[in-house]
Amino acid sequence: MAMRVTDELLNGVLLIEIDRYRDERGYFEELYHADELRGLGIHTPFVQDNHSRSTAGVVRGLHYQHTEPQGKLLTVLQGAIQLVELDLRAGSATFGRHVSVMLSDERPQLVWIPPGFANGFCCVSDVADVLYKCTSYYNASGEGSIDPLDPDLGITWDTSAPILSTKDRTASSWTSYTERPTF
């Protein structure tokens, strides 16, 4: 088997190790294999691939899509990130809790993020390329964002000077989200 779950990070968020085959030319790895993923309990089609590049200190997120919610299968192609997932599912035992995990191109891993989580990450290397497959198409009218620096979340980002987009700097507070949860 080329893929195996090594940890359930938070109520459905799975850390998946993949095999990497090295030789004198470099390495080869399968980042997506539908049958292997089904064997791990991930029975969903993916319809869109996204690739982002960030520089050191950039914090992206916390983003979610409430209309046509997205599940994501994420990996780091280059560099290293601190990945943060926040459970937005009001009926979940882990509602409002987050998980933080370090991912890098040095270790071949995927993270499965089911619908109902706000996704964010911090680039902790000079540059990081992140690839994620999505279970539904991007829907601008159905997206939301929570302030990744909101102290009520208790997230300790691995940067002393976070760089955020205007959208992320002006995102909703956690308190505002909890007044009208969308999941």
CB under 8 Å to 28, separation ≥6 — which residues? 20, 21
Cα-to-chain-centroid distance, residue 45 = 17
What does each C-alpha distance from 135 to 43, 66, 109 come to in angstroms? 10, 13, 19
Q: Please confirm, yes or no, whether 63 is among the known catalytic residues.
A: yes
64, 98, 132, 177: the catalytic one is 132
Backbone angles phi, psi at 84, to 5 degrees: -125, 130
Q: Please confirm, yes or no, whether 66 is among the known catalytic residues.
A: no
51, 63, 137, 138: the catalytic one is 63
Q: Which regions of 11-58 does DSSP assign to beta strands (E)?
A: 13-18, 20-23, 26-29, 48-55
The catalytic residue positions are 63, 132
